[in-house]
Chains A and B, each alone.
Chain A
Amino acid sequence: MEQSSIITIQELIKRFPVGKGEFTALNGINLTFNTGEFVGIVGPSGSGKTTLLNIIGSLDTPSEGKAIVMGQSTGDLTTKSAAKLRKKYLGFIFQTYNLLPVYTVYENVEFPLLLLKMSSGERRKAVLDALEWLGMTDKIKSRPAQLSGGECQRVAIARAMVKKPEIVLADEPTANLDAANSHNILKMMLKLNEELKTTFIFATHDDKVIKYLKRKITLEDGKVVQDEFITK
């Protein structure tokens, strides 16, 4: 079946300077992601999962090869265009939530919309919708310090989802959560993936996450060693 590819990675190599030499973190990656995928990148620690996610998210650039996201080759973008790409099409979810501590839940979720210069009426509606999806409407005025880890991650997901991005990149989103919260959050993301056709890409070694994946890509020493579509 023919689907539109949203991310194409060709012969991607990423090297980091280490001391006087170099360390090759990603070594010849070729991958294609289609709209609406729910993919996990798994593999042992140090295999290059975060590095790959960062390059897809245009937070880092390839040393060689190409990562084409939404038709734009991230390695060739100016920092300004890369920022624009992230602002419009990408949502990030972090292991440590990275909520802004001085803002309330509402303000945290509103932040990406402020960057998009959305009118206040539209913003309000979108923020309340996002918080409703994640069941956080009763904590609108709380600050991150007053929330549990699971609640923080739900706010972080709401923040990533509020602008209805094309792609959500999540690096170890469940690593700091207990089992119940992990399942809860994955179910929510799966629901968003199905309802909004948002593409989700995880970096994880959490078995609880792997259970939900529709596609699993295994990295080892910077190479793709396995790429399987899981049919349930």
Chain B
Amino acid sequence: MIAFKLAFRNLVGAGLRTWLNVFVLSFIYILIIWQYGILDGWNHQANKDMKAWEVGNGQYWQENYDPYDFFTLEESHAKIPEVLQKASSEGVVTPILISQASVYPDGRIQSMLLKGINPDQKVIAVPSAELNVESEAMPAGSPTAGRTGHEIPVVIGRRMAKSCKLKVGDVTTIRWRDINGTFDAAEVKVAKVFNCNVPNVDAGQMYIPIEKLQEMMQAPDEATMFIIGKDFEMNETVSGWEYKDYDFLMTEMNEMMKMKKVGGSFLYVILLLLAMLAIFDTQVLSIFRRQKEIGTYIAMGMTRGQVVSLFTVEGAMHAILAVILGAIYGIPFLLWQLKIGYTMPAGSDDFGLAIAETIFPVYGLGLIITTVLLVLIITTIVSYMPARKISKMKPTDALKGKIQ
């Protein structure tokens, strides 16, 4: 206790140098808590969005389906098994049929995925209900008014709309191959452009009524996969279909987040290293300059161990003062970020990760405690290393101040 009191007095007595070190440390605290808070907030939001838009509560995949291999898409569909058909009609799962196709915006050719979806599904957030429009009901005055109305309704996401320069009401040509390998083409009409943070759900793809796609592909009653909604449990295994649980489907996302955290830590490691160097230096200097003081402490009856702890506590006190200083300007800043969120810099969309425009940080108590403890422990070790030298000092030499 006395060591704390003395250390505090000595440290504060040391003036500007102390406050500089303390400021840098407090800045590191805030930076770590803030950035990890943003990453956790991002992770939280991405998990929520991916669950709502893409992953559901798990999926059933036709056994050949591999989302990373478009060339196998042709073989990865099969007749919908009875049990899934039943679950589907109850609305707890929804089938998706996927086919490769091309779209011709402005005369360019662009390949994409056609995803057949049940317009009445409620399992994922894709606004499939918009596909229920009567294709004949072309409002007068719209750019497509007066056309024959054979266009198939599709919904697309913001990213797809941007890359193909499409907007609601636009008509464009798509081309696909049926299961026999025959090419065919048709006109589609954008019924809705939706906003979604998950690139996997909207980049390079169009949603189309599943029955229409089955018809186009000449694959009646077939599907590529099923997305599971809430509370669906199937006891039997369905031959030809593989169950993928939520955690499996989130693996990639979680790995990416881990990488981001590791990548982000690099900056703090450097910053922390610099701060520790400064504290180490301060300690070495203060022990060198205060030999006489050290000798006096010993003459007054302190053991060398006590003097070592005094100097160690004094160094570690930087981290404690930094908590206080950090709290003074950091808490308002962190709370402000919590309220207004952090707007991701333009271009973040290209990360390929689910990301919202504005991310609201999530600060865990664990994160804050770990950060504070980590910095405190490292500071203590760095302060202790030079202080150890005191225990090897001869008190008579220290009093003379002649140790080099």
Contact = CB atoms under 8 A, between A and B. Distances in A.
B14 interface: yes
B6 to A, nearest CB: 8
A92 B303 contact: no
Nearest to A78: B303
Contacts of B303: 79-80, 83
Prevailing SS type, chain A contact patch: helix
Chain B interface residue count: which class? 20 to 34
Interface string A69-111: 0000000000110011111101010101010111100010001
Contacts of B399: 59, 94, 98
A83 B301 contact: yes
Contact of A86 (B6, B12, B300): B300
Contact of B299 (A79, A92, A101, A107): A92
B13 A92 contact: no
A180 interface: no
A111 B10 CA distance: 13
Interface in B276-310: 292-293, 295-296, 298-304, 306
B199 interface: no
Contact of A98 (B6, B9, B296, B302): B296
A115 B9 CA distance: 16
B72 interface: no
B234 interface: no
Nearest to B15: A102
Contacts of A115: 2, 300-302
A59 B298 CA distance: 8
Contacts of B394: 60
Summarize B's interface: helix, strand, loop or mixed. Answer: helix
Given A102-B9, A103-B9, A114-B2, A59 B300 contact: no
B163 interface: no
Interface residues of A, number: 27
B209 interface: no
A79 B304 contact: yes
B403 to A, nearest CB: 14
A98 B290 CA distance: 10
Interface string A33-58: 00000000000000000000010010
Interface of A: 54, 57, 59-60, 79-80, 83-88, 90, 92, 94, 96, 98, 100-103, 107, 111-112, 114-115, 159
The 9 closest A-B pairs by CB, nearest first: A87-B301, A102-B13, A86-B301, A98-B296, A83-B303, A92-B299, A59-B395, A60-B396, A114-B2
Interface of B: 2, 5-6, 9-10, 12-14, 292-293, 295-296, 298-304, 306, 394-396, 399
Given A59-B399, A60-B395, A86-B298, 11 more contacts: A59-B395, A79-B304, A90-B299, A98-B296, A100-B293, A102-B12, A102-B14, A111-B300, A112-B301, A115-B300, A159-B300
